Amino acid sequence: MARPVKEWIGDTDEQRAPPRVRLRVFDNEGGKCHICRQPIIGKKWALDHVIALINGGENRERNLKPVHVACHAEKTAADVAEKAKVAARRKAHLRIVDAPTMQGQPFQKSRKAARRQQAAANKLPIPQRTRPMFAPKEDST
Ligand SMILES: [Zn+2]
């Protein structure tokens, strides 16, 4: 029987699993992507936190699975959406409402500002150049 291996636990959420742990996680999944179940060989891969850190998951070996980088990007987007959904549900449950936004009429423009704006609107349009300023050299062949 193999000697039991102590589970790796990150000291912080930012700490990356060392290579020996990455190898162990890879082997435990049979070298397959945890998301699409396809082999990882020959493709870029990463370690995914099965329960995302932002959703309360822990930075430890048993929460890590190998995934394709492409598959991981999709899951990360889903994790962020999940976090927002949970937060919205909790806010509703706890009757926390967002601060009201400023509404109402904007400040009235001064007569001087109104006149300036009117003058700008009445200005004649800048004529468009019909010939390019710098024509490419033409060969006389
Ligand atoms: Zn995949």
> pLDDT, tens digit, for every residue of 55-95?
899 999 999 999 999 999 988 899 899 899 999 999 999 98
Give, as residue ranges, everything with CB less than 5 Å from ion ligand 1.
33, 35-36, 68, 71
Please report whether residue 73 resides in a domain.
Answer: yes
- Of 125, 121, 55, 106, nearest to 85 by C-alpha is 55
Cα 85 to averaged position of ligand 1 atoms, centre (Å) = 25
- In the reported structure, the alpha carbon of residue 83 is separated from the centroid of ligand 1 by a whole-number distance in angstroms of 22
Q: 1 lies in a domain?
A: no
Dist. CA 23 → ligand 1 center (Å)? 17
Q: Give me the amino acid identity at 124.
A: L
Q: How confident is the model at residue 47 (pLDDT cuts 50, 70, 90)?
A: very high
Report the alpha-carbon distance of residue 118 to residue 73 in Å, rounded. Answer: 51
Domain annotation covers residue 69: yes
Q: How far is it, in rounded angstroms, from Cα 44 to Cα 72?
A: 10
Residue 25 lies in a domain: yes
Quote the pLDDT of residue 4: 81
Q: Any idea which residue has 């193999």 for tokens?
A: 2
- Half-sphere CA count of 23, side-chain side, radius 13 A: 3
103 domain residue, yes or no: no
Instruction: Please count the structural domains in the chain.
Output: 1
More confident residue, 133 or 86: 86
Which residue range is the domain that position 78 belongs to?
A: 19-93
Q: Note whether residue 7 is domain-resident.
A: no
